[in-house]
Amino acid sequence: MAIPFAPLSLSSFVLATITVVLSVPVLAAKPVEFAREIRPILSDTCFKCHGVDAAKRKGGLRLDQKKEWFHPREEGTLVVPGKPQESLVFTRITHSDPDDQMPPREEVRQLTPLEISKIRDWILQGANWQPHWSFVPLRRPALPKNDNASWTLGPIDRYIGQRMVEAGLHPAETTDKPTLLRRVTLDLTGLPPTLKELDTFLQDTSDHAYERAVDRLLSSPRYGEHLAVDWLDLARYADTDGYQDDEPRTMWRWREWLINVLNDNMPFDQFTIEQLAGDLLPDATPEQRLATGFLRNNRVNGEGGSIAEEFRVEYIVDRVETASSVWMGLTTGCAAVMTINMIRSRKVTSTPSLPSSTRPRNPEPIAVMPSRLYRSPLVQTRDASRKLPGTSNSLTTAPGKRWKRNARDCSIAPRKP
């Protein structure tokens, strides 16, 4: 009796070949990280039908949650650590029958052989599931083994050296002193070195010449100005309100605070607290209240026909989204209208502790925040006035009024309680 034979298509033949090759239980030399290498693959190819959207979810299966991966199902367990051939996920993505293969054949985005190999290696290595990186507490890792002491001058060099060994690379030769000074000066201040700085560096032939140059650059006001650029972008800083009017606003005093604390090397925990809740600290100083200008950097609509309540909510959402993306490494914009994994919509839209002023630009009361340039003369004038007989406050004098006017020009609006 003749047995019917249906020739395999080219795609089925390639997939069957991949399945056979990947069935050989050989552990990968390099550990596969779920968060860095596996989740992005799933996000591209699987979450569309097996993700957070309940309306589009098929088979009642969610691949964005850990409990689904290791929970036994009627047709099998999705992942059996160390055993790809017993893992439903692996057998479905390598299935020889196009009707049972995942992703479905009609999907444009299909898994590549390399991606299938990574999933297999991850299962072989124990299927270590990891949450989103922003939810993982920071831990100081162990330093890589240093087999090339001449390559490393510090702890960071060990990581660079390890990666270079993996890539079969060798470090470049040590550069000349003028180039070295130019690189470090541009890196720390954003500016090239002056001829005088270059001459001083070249004349210093000691072993600590480079360290002295770095210390000088770190103590330069230009260091804080250069370092502040990235944070100003994160804080959505601008000197105008935005929207259609785009009127000027007085926010530069907060920018000056940022530059000053970066030059002062303020600890990051204090840096965080003061910008989010500096005005709520016990006996808050003017500078700590000023720090909360971070929350007032949002766009402001001063158009006469705008609806106050609409933009009050918009400002709150903007502040929540900015604070979460800056400090949590997590965007919450979409969660304002839908539930996404660990973020519920009600948590985003119910944050009454954040400022919610609806008045345009810098509303009263205005906090007088003299800059460092004016603070010392202002204090000296005030103290001197108290020592003069018959004078209660020299700020009423012409010089005093001038200092007070300059201080007012440095003002910034506090956030509304």
- Tokens representing 136? 């993982």
Looking at the fold, whether 14 and 125 belong to one and the same domain comes out as: yes
* Predicted local distance difference test score (pLDDT) of residue 243: 83
Q: Does residue 222 or residue 315 have the better pLDDT?
A: 222
Tell me: do 21 and 102 sit in the same domain: yes
Residues 207 and 246 in one domain: no
Predicted pLDDT of residue 64: 84
What confidence tier does 162 reach under pLDDT thresholds 50, 70, 90?
A: confident
Q: Are residues 317 and 390 in the same domain?
A: no
Q: Do 338 and 243 sit in the same domain of this protein?
A: yes
What would the 3-class secondary structure string for the chain be?
Answer: CCCCCCCCCHHHHHHHHHHHHHCCCCCCCCCCCHHHHHHHHHHHHCHHHHCCCCCCCCCCCCCCCHHHHHCCECCECCCCCCCHHHCHHHHHHCCCCCCCCCCCCCCCCCCCHHHHHHHHHHHHCCCCCCCCHHHCCCCCCCCCCCCCHHHCCCHHHHHHHHHHHHCCCCCCCCCCHHHHHHHHHHHHHCCCCCHHHHHHHHHCCCCCHHHHHHHHHHCCHHHHHHHHHHHHHHCCCCCECCCCCCCECCCHHHHHHHHHHHHCCCCHHHHHHHHHHHHHCCCCCHHHHHHHHHHHCCCCCCCCCCCHHHHHHHHHHHHHHHHHHHHCCCCCCHHHCCCECCECHHHHHCCCCCCCCCCCCCCCCCECCCCHHHHHHHHHHHHHHHHCCCCCCHHHCHHHHHHHHHHHHCCECCCCC
Residue 415 lies in a domain: no
Tell me which of 2-11, 144-153, 335-344 is least confident: 2-11
Res. 73 pLDDT band, cuts 50 70 90: confident
Distance between CA atoms of residues 118 and 37, nearest Å: 8
Predicted local confidence at residue 10, as pLDDT: 39
- The predicted pLDDT at position 225 comes to 96
Q: Please indicate, yes or no, whether residues 291 and 344 belong to a single structural domain of this protein.
A: yes
Instruction: Name the β-bridge partners of 240.
Output: 248
Q: In this predicted structure, which of 104-108, 133-137, 275-279 has the lowest mean pLDDT?
A: 133-137
Q: What gap in Å lies between CA 101 and CA 94, rounded to an integer?
A: 7
Cα torsion at 349, 350, 354, 358 (round to 10°)? 60
Q: Give residue 416's pLDDT.
A: 42
Report the pLDDT value the prediction gives residue 176, as an integer from 0 to 100. Answer: 95
pLDDT band at 384 (very low <50, low <70, confident <90, very high): low
In the block, which residue shows the tokens 């395999």?
Answer: 8
Least confidently predicted of 104-108, 213-217, 270-274, 333-337 = 333-337
In terms of Cβ atoms closer than 10 Å to its own Cβ (0-12, 13-18, 19+), residue 257 is buried
Q: Model confidence over 16-46: pLDDT tens digits?
A: 444 444 444 444 457 899 988 999 998 888 8
Give domain status of residue 155, yes or no. Answer: no
Mean predicted confidence (pLDDT) in 50-79 = 84
Looking at the structure, tell me whether residues 70 and 116 fall in a common domain: yes
Mean pLDDT of 295-319: 83
Domain-embedded: residue 290: yes
Considering 231-235, 240-244, 308-312, 413-417, the range whose residues carry the highest mean pLDDT is 231-235
User: In 10 A of CB 416, how many CB atoms?
Assistant: 12
User: Lowest-pLDDT range, 19-28, 138-147, 299-308?
Assistant: 19-28
Same domain, 125 and 39: yes
211 with 243, same domain?
Answer: no
Quick check: 388 pLDDT over 90? Answer: no
Phi, psi of 90 (to 5 degrees): -70, -40
How many angstroms separate the Cα of 116 from the Cα of each of 23, 120, 126, 144, 408?
Answer: 11, 6, 16, 29, 64
pLDDT band for position 184 (cuts 50, 70, 90): very high
More confident residue, 249 or 199: 199
pLDDT band at 193 (very low <50, low <70, confident <90, very high): very high
Domain count, the chain: 4
Residues 303 and 390 both lie in one domain:
no
- pLDDT beyond 60 at 220: yes
The domain of 28 spans 10-132
The confidence score (pLDDT) of residue 97 equals 87
113 lies in the same domain as 20:
yes
- Let me know: does 360 contact 302? Beta carbons within 8 Å: yes
Identify which has the larger pLDDT, 15 or 175: 175
Residue 48 lies in a domain: yes
Tell me the mean pLDDT in the region 289-297. 90
pLDDT band at 55; cut points 50, 70, 90: confident
Total Cβ atoms within 10 A of residue 301: 20
Question: Which residues, 6 or more positions from 261, have their beta carbon under 8 angstroms from its beta carbon?
Answer: 224, 271, 291
pLDDT-derived band at 212, boundaries 50, 70, 90: very high
pLDDT of residue 74: 81
| Domain assignment of residue 1, yes or no | no
pLDDT at 336: 54
Could you report the per-residue pLDDT of 348-377, keeping only the tens digit for each? Answer: 445 445 555 444 444 554 666 777 766 666
Segment 69-97 shows an average pLDDT of 88
What is residue 205's predicted lDDT score, i.e. its pLDDT? 94
d(CA 33, CA 323): 28
For residue 47, is it within any domain?
yes
**395 and 322, same structural domain?**
no
Under the banding of pLDDT at 50, 70 and 90, the label for residue 15 is very low
Which pLDDT does position 203 carry in this prediction? Answer: 96
- Evaluate if residue 264 carries a pLDDT over 50: yes
